[in-house]
Chains A and B, each alone.
Chain A
């Protein structure tokens, strides 16, 4: 069974997916992601697009060994639930990290990555992954 990525669907989701565009509720002020047409917290349909912060902390994470078919060659897949600096939550792969570095509270930043390989239609699925924020520079210089 081949799961095909739709070229049209990949194109349609490019803005919220690549630029991390969520929604802000004009009534209760809360942000959410992925973007909906009604606020998941107060139900208001009066929303506006908002570019979300690209850094946050890992609130919880998992290392998935029993992956779906299209991720078998990449297994295990590390998936994090990232709480962005404004409190909005995002599910995304965690990348550039050793398994023993993973911990709740780890600071991470978004990075543009290839998520899924070309398939039947030659479509490559891109998206955001999150990587640890490495502070190689000494504290005095920051």
Chain B
């Protein structure tokens, strides 16, 4: 089987980029990835979720690719909520495997700070079933709050125990120059911060921010075009779609969609979860971070928070989880998030991550999800 290499990456610091629009953000990271790889891509996948609501711009792939000097290429726009990035990587991987393209630029970009936060929350609620959830005033945070309350009661997990997650994420992010929030916090900060959707506080949800990330993928047959041989490759990419609605899930404290795609990706890569050195997983909320650890087979149900308090999953452990600071503190620029995760794991495997760097990792895993599991991409990345 031919290998799909990561030839170049580009990242912006997530934050409030008031002076930059969606094209400016996409341009910077695309140029970084193209310059690093030393080739122009022959296809472009734009990963974005909220642009047609917040920027009122459709025709996005054409608009962005032609604006940044990539006119006349194959160009698609992929939308799958905050799982768009993983879905975009999957399409790029497929184009390369099928040898329809020889190099594909995947650009994740989201511009979330053009309006006050309640407008952005309204846009985000479109990740839910609009007519039967958002119609009644439910928000994405609200749905996560329903899961968190249920989980804490079912497994008798305390507020302080679950706060281990945001505390660790903020610590990791404090070392990451690309992170939106680079300040450490305590469990008291989490408990005492503003209530967003009870029991979720401000420190249980990923922040609103603008961001862009790009990866330039190249097929094995074309790798000789590159100035330098790439060190890392996409081993396996699995992407599945499921129901949006929490009401249709048999266990409210589970993300079966994560388990299914992680198991399949590991099986295809002929690996066990114990073989993974670094993971970037989709902690859009404290509760989704904990549930993904459990579904990936890294913790028993209801036990993830306690493993964190035992010191697991931090820098120096195996696996190291979200050395970037995760969605919680690196940030969650919705359509760009999955591309950040892939770029960060690639940088870890190259030994070139400018924040907390894993010690000689060989195998990485990305788990990118939309909403509360309506689609999941599980991506295994390895060193050649």
**Contact: A65 with B195, CB < 8 Å?**
yes
A78 to B117, CA, bound (A): 20
Instruction: For the A-B complex with A17-B131, A81-B246, A90-B247 known, give 17 more contacts whose Cβ atoms are closer than 8 Å.
Output: A1-B122, A9-B131, A17-B132, A34-B245, A60-B146, A62-B149, A66-B117, A67-B121, A68-B125, A68-B134, A69-B119, A70-B122, A74-B137, A77-B137, A79-B138, A81-B252, A89-B246
What residues of chain B lie closer than 8 Å to A115, measured between beta carbons? 135-137
- Whether, in the assembled complex, A116 has its beta carbon less than 8 Å from a beta carbon of chain B, the answer is yes
Chain B residue contacts of A17, Cβ below 8 A: 131-132
CA distance A112 to B380 in the complex (A): 49
Say whether A69 contacts B252, CB under 8 Å.
no
Is B250 on the interface with A (CB-CB < 8 A)? yes
B125-164 residues at the A interface, CB under 8 angstroms: 125, 129, 131-139, 141-143, 145-147, 149-150, 153
Q: Kindly supply a per-residue 1/0 record for chain A positions 8-46, scoring 1 wherever the CB is within 8 Å of any chain B CB and 0 otherwise.
A: 010001000100000000000000111010001100000
Point out the residues of chain B lying under 8 angstroms from A90, CB to CB. Answer: 247
Most buried by A among B115, B117, B133, B139: B139
Q: Is A59 an interface residue (CB 8 A)?
A: yes
Say yes or no: A125 contacts B135, CB within 8 Å.
yes
Q: Which residues of B contact A74 (CB under 8 A)?
A: 137
Is A64 touching B122 in the complex (CB atoms < 8 A)? no
Mark interface residues in B202-218 (1 if CB within 8 Å of A CB, else 0).
Answer: 00000000000000000
Q: Is B243 an interface residue (CB 8 A)?
A: yes
Interface residues on A, range: 35 or more
* Contact assessment for A81 and B137 in the assembled complex, using a CB-CB cutoff below 8 Å: no
Query: Are the C-beta atoms of B248 and A91 separated by less than 8 Å?
Result: no
- The interface of chain A, by Cβ under 8 A from chain B, is 1, 3, 9, 13, 17, 32-34, 36, 40-41, 59-72, 74, 77, 79, 81, 88-93, 104, 115-116, 125, 127
Pair A66/B118 contact, Cβ less than 8 Å: yes
Q: How far is the CB of B205 from chain A (nearest CB, A)?
A: 9
- Bound complex: CA A87 to CA B39 (Å): 57
Note all chain A residues with C-beta closer than 8 A to B247.
32-34, 81, 88-91
Residues of B within 8 A of A (CB): 115, 117-119, 121-122, 125, 129, 131-139, 141-143, 145-147, 149-150, 153, 194-200, 243, 245-248, 250, 252
Q: B72: shortest Cβ distance to chain A, in Å?
A: 34
Pairwise interchain contact B137-A34, C-beta atoms closer than 8 A:
no
- Report the separation of the CA atoms of residues A116 and B122 in the bound assembly, to the nearest whole angstrom: 14
> Judging by beta carbons under 8 Å apart, are A66 and B137 in contact?
no
Closest to B242 in A: A40
Give the 9 A-B residue pairs with the shortest CB-CB distance, closest first.
Answer: A62-B145, A68-B122, A89-B247, A34-B132, A60-B150, A77-B137, A40-B248, A63-B198, A64-B197
Q: Which residue of A lies closest to B145 (CB)?
A: A62
Residues of chain A lying within 8 A (CB to CB) of residue B117: 66
Q: Which A residue sits closest to B250, measured CB to CB?
A: A41
Cβ of B149 to closest chain A Cβ, rounded Å: 5
| Chain B nearest Cβ from A97, distance in angstroms | 14
CB distance from B123 to the nearest CB of A (A): 9
Which interface residue of B121, B136, B146, B246 has the most chain A CB atoms within 10 A? B136
- Is the beta-carbon distance between A127 and B136 smaller than 8 angstroms? yes
How long is the Cα–Cα vector from A3 to B246 in the complex, in angstroms? 24
Instruction: Please give me the residue from chain A that is nearest to B205 by CB atom.
Output: A66
**Residues on A with beta carbons closer than 8 Å to the beta carbon of B134:** 68
